[in-house]
Structure 1
Amino acid sequence: MEITNTTRDGINLRGWTLRDRDGNRYRFDNVRIAPPRATIRIHTGNGRDTRTDLFQDRRNYVWDNGSDAATLRDDRGRTVDTETWGRRR
């Protein structure tokens, strides 16, 4: 999953969440996305976090290839963006 900052300001994602349709949730720590057009990738597997890549450190994949939805919410629980793909069964 990728998140791109389309604003002119840096964004601190502390307390923001990324959730799939099944309710799996990833909560961001003190992560900052620099402006403009900076992108971070969120991986479900294990790895070492960097400035551009974050890892959820899960043993199993979260995102369903056939159909799923990713919802990004800010630290107040407001939906910032939702991306869906495939057909829901």
Structure 2
Amino acid sequence: MSLCLWLLTTAPLLANKFETIGGGVQGSTRVKIEYLQVIAFVAGGIFLVSGILAIALQNKNAQTLNYTMWKPSAVIFFVLSIASFAAGVFMK
């Protein structure tokens, strides 16, 4: 109960602290976009590796969904990978 009360009282203070980040310094928009591009490329790489692993490790562990649904898993990971890479490329 005290944790909930603490979160309710400190959350507005933190929100006000970080509210001014959007204003930033002149030219900081380009830096933010570069960070988002790096995040998109890293996420695309992770999805790509996950898709490759879904194919490479098919039917290896019966406790995972990959045992029976490896094809849809691989397709979803590859689509997410393409979307992440496209987001990184088209971000300007």
TM range (shorter): under 0.3
Relative contact order, CA 8 A, sep 6+: which one is greater? 2
Rg bigger for which structure?
2
Whose strand fraction is larger, Structure 1's or Structure 2's?
1
TM-score norm. by structure 1 comes to 0.20
Higher helix share: 2
